[in-house]
Amino acid sequence: MKKIVILLLIFMFSMTLSSCKKTNYEVPFILYDEEDLFMMSFRDSIFTNNSSDITFRMYDSTDSQIIQNEIINGVLKDSPKLIIVNPVDRLGAYTIIEKSKLTDTPIIFINREPLETDLLSWDKVYYVGAKPEQSAIFQAELVMELFGGNPNDLNHYDLNGDGKIQCIILKGQEGHQDAEIRTEAVVNEMEENGYDLDILKIESADFRTSVAFDLMNELLPIYRDQIEVIFSNNDAMAIGAINALIEDGFFADDNLDGKVDSNTINWIPVVGIDGIEEAIQLIEDGYLYGTVINDSESMAKAVIELSNAIFNDREPDTISYTIELGKYIWIDYEKYSQPIVED
Amino acid sequence: MKTFKEFSIKQNIIIAMMTIMISVILLSSVSYYFIFNSSMNDIVESGSKEINKQIIFNYENYINDVLNTARQIQQDTIEYDMATSEAELQDIYNKSVKVNENTISIVLLGLDGNIILSSNNVAVQNTYLEEKDWFENALLDYSIFYFSSPHQQNVFRDSNANVISVSKVISYILNGEKQNAVLLIDISTETIVNLSDHTNLGEGGHIVILNDDDSLVYSSISSCYSDTCESITIAKEIIIGGSYVTVDGIKMYASVNTLNATRWRIATFSNVEILNSSRTNMFLILSLIMVVTITVVFYFANIITRRITSPLNKLNKHMLEIQENGVSYSPLEVEGQKEIIILSNAFNNMISEIRILMERVLREQKEKRKTEFIALQTQINPHFLYNTLDSIIWLSENNLNEQVVEMIVALSKYFRISISKGKTIITAKEELEHARSYLLIQKIRYSSKFDYSFVVDENIYDVKAVKLILQPLIENAIYHGISGDEDGIIIIRAYKKEELMVFEVENNGYGLTDSQIDGIYDNMKSEINNTSIGLKNVYQRLKLYYGEKANLEIISELDEKTIVKLTYPLKAKVK
């Protein structure tokens, strides 16, 4: 009788204690926001390009650092071999590093670059992403190409012929590193190459299509006749701007073939960054002048390769991507635009 | 340790019931307690996290306001050329200070530390900017706004008010050229204090804000004023996340999170003593339930066992009484369960049966003694001895020496077998020998008025026989079966028939009528002693020694013969 009681107790305890052990083949992949268009395509690239043993398990931080902190606390309890984090707040990344040190879990940060001091604080932290300056430089180059490539002799896209380029800059979220850098770098690049930019307005549209649409509706009555180019920190805002412009009568599809001609008078060059699918389609159809593709596929491949190296305890520098400072894998942007027709 | 067999029924039942009940209650209580505990933990934990989120949300809103102002100034600064439009910028700076009540001053400093532009209220004092972390840190990373810890800004003005310095390297235009400068916005700490006042963290609950080097930025309690205070240490250990901790002996849930756009972390400590008290309450309630249940179970177990054991105890007591005082018929009256009543009835029956048996044994013993006494009498029948000795005297007086010898030899044999060293069981051969001696003596005494013969199956010689069962029958045959007018013949037969040993004594006297035979039988079986002792004695001894299967039968044909037939089982166990 006593033996039965003891057996029962042991059974009970073993039931409560035996928490199911998770397979360590899972690598937690913590996105900052699953609804971000670029992150969507990046996530898809991860899944389509992954042929390794490990599986990536996606977590969505819904653009909240608090939720991301909770997710990280949760996944670290299962002692994964590494975690991949797309930080919501780059300034908060140091806490993630400190937390991971406790369990000795390597981290690959992606897409949003933590402070260099934080990255250098531990040797098991990596960053895979693109240099935000590069996207801005490429964006500037696209515009320079469009205006003929000679700052002293602007072509017919200089509508008023004053030798200056009148522009509107749609800035991303205020305080966002990408927004700040892209805005600053695109202006710098243009000016360094001798182009005279006449910035009509720099306004934040929070990286969002709808905000950009509303903003453009506000700005168009004021600047309608002056705008010669619209720089957008990302494609989503560029699309919003194009929608507003279409409503205002720009981009008229004269022959109704679903495409517009860049050489008509009511065509305004808009340049974005990211290279999301919709933007590519708009370029094909003649609306959007160009974009700088944030190469989600290359980035996904780099992340997968680096993950496998860490996962299998191989030296990270054995992979096919260059690792700068033992930390950074830089993915190059790509320019993509409508063909420029010389007349 | 006692094994279960050594316990009484009562103890066994109580132990079994208590063990079952206690283990069931214990098991359910423990599991309930743990489930309650964990869900209580979850509730408190998620509640604390919610509060933490709310607080962070409030702080982030505030910080966003500050940042928006700062960015606006950053944007405005680059739009004007300092050489030509300083007045406009000055105006913007002044307005910003006025509009934002938290903003104390706005200063633009060159990287060399000289003031380029500042809001009106700033009076230059001294400039050891290298020692100011807001200056140094702003230069470390151009991309971020640096938030300092609350400090007394004594660089620019005479004031003891604590401020937080927000600084960043920004660009300004001087003569069309882009230059770098440090933008410094001092904001009052008032809002941070106010925000912490309006929190719902319970008694002793508090907020601490840490910088990225785990130094104290702000604490809402006075007891935590240095980087080494308990709350800071806890927040340092947690890094980010939540956990149950004890601060100043109070149970708290500590939740640490980052504060967006800053390098700060905010740790909220919410009082969760309710967890302890509810846990204690639950423990008390469960214990109470347990104690009550155990008492009730014990009480009922007692009643049930008493109902079972009290009649058993009564029975037991009755048995002990019988053991001490012997069987006395007073039937046991027991009330209780069916089985117990059956048991006590059976016991009563057994006792009365024993009583009957004992009485029978007593009677039989008495009877046996009596018959043996008579048999003893027969062994040394003095009349027979006198008569025989008289006959011997008479024979010797008549010089019938041969007969004298014959007689004495027969007598000697007769007595030797009669006595047989006190044995009661002898062989059939000896019994027949005894009968023969007796017949020989009687024949000489009765001057050959009768004759006798033996028809004996030699196989029966070794069969055991009760001593002196033939002699009384022969004596009867001589006295009653010999008629005067013709020669009497006595035939003794001994043989086996099936499993029975048979002795027959036959005489050819007048015979007996059926009613006479019935009379003899009645006499034989009755317990009253009367004159016809011989037959009765033989009959009773047969029954005593051989039991029911032994028999004495009288077969008679009037004027022809009378046979007295003794039968007893060959294999009988002599009692």
Write out pLDDT tens, residues B213-250. 888 888 888 888 888 888 899 999 898 888 889 888 88
Tokens of B31: 């599991």
Contact between chains at B261 and A91 (C-beta distance less than 8 A): yes
Looking at residue B242, its amino acid is G
Predicted confidence (pLDDT) at residue B123 exceeds the cutoff of 70: no
Q: State the average pLDDT over residues B43-60.
A: 88
Contacts of A9 in chain B (CB under 8 A): 27
Task: Using alpha carbons, list the distances in angstroms from residue B90 to A72, B33, B77.
Answer: 46, 67, 10
Interface of B with A (CB under 8 A): 16, 19, 23, 27, 31, 34, 49, 52-53, 56, 67-68, 71, 75, 140-141, 143-145, 171, 212, 239-242, 257-263, 265
Contacts of A91 in chain B (CB under 8 A): 144, 258, 260-263
Contact between chains at B263 and A94 (C-beta distance less than 8 A): yes
CB atoms within 10 A of CB A101: 15
Cα–Cα distance for residue pair A61/A73, rounded to 1 Å: 12
Write out pLDDT tens, residues B445-485. 887 788 899 999 988 888 888 888 888 888 888 887 776 66
Residue B300, SS3 per DSSP: helix
Structure-token match 């240490």, residue found:
B233
Which A-chain residues 63-122 have CB contacts (< 8 A) with chain B?
65-66, 69-70, 72-73, 88-89, 91-92, 94-96, 98-99, 102, 115-117
Contacts of B23 in chain A (CB under 8 A): 5, 8
Tokens of B437: 């001696």
DSSP label at B115?
Answer: E
Write out pLDDT tens, residues A27-36. 999 999 888 8
Percent of residues, chain B, with pLDDT higher than 90: 11
Quick one: closest CA in A to B168, which residue? A175
Provide the pLDDT for residue B203: 83
Contact between chains at A72 and B240 (C-beta distance less than 8 A): yes
Provide the pLDDT for residue B124: 64
Contacts of B71 in chain A (CB under 8 A): 174-175
Provide the pLDDT for residue B328: 65
Quick one: closest CA in A to B266, which residue? A66
Write out pLDDT tens, residues A52-92. 888 999 999 998 999 999 999 999 998 899 999 999 988 88
Contacts of B145 in chain A (CB under 8 A): 175
Considering only the beta carbons, identify the residue of B143, B144, B257 that sits closest to A66.
Answer: B257
Tokens of A240: 């919003």
Provide the pLDDT for residue B324: 82
Considering only the beta carbons, identify the residue of A72, A89, A98 that sits closest to B260.
Answer: A89
Contacts of A66 in chain B (CB under 8 A): 52-53, 56, 257
Mutation site, A6, A16, A69, interface B, largest B CB count within 10 A:
A69
Write out pLDDT tens, residues B321-368. 878 877 665 777 777 778 878 888 888 888 888 888 988 998 888 877
Contact between chains at B260 and A174 (C-beta distance less than 8 A): no
Provide the pLDDT for residue A239: 94
User: What distance in Å separates residue B38's CA from the closest CA in chain A?
Assistant: 12
Predicted confidence (pLDDT) at residue A229 exceeds the cutoff of 90: yes
Distance of CA A94 to the CA centre of its chain: 21
Rounded to two decimals, what is the model's pTM? 0.65
Q: State the average pLDDT over residues A279-285.
A: 92
For B48, list phi and psi in degrees, rounded to 5.
-65, -40
Write out pLDDT tens, residues B153-188. 777 766 667 888 999 999 888 888 888 999 999 888
Provide the pLDDT for residue A21: 46
CB atoms within 10 A of CB A19: 7
Contact between chains at A88 and B263 (C-beta distance less than 8 A): no
What 3 state SS string does B355-379 have? HHHHHHHHHHHHHHHHHHHHHHHHH
Predicted confidence (pLDDT) at residue A20 exceeds the cutoff of 50: no
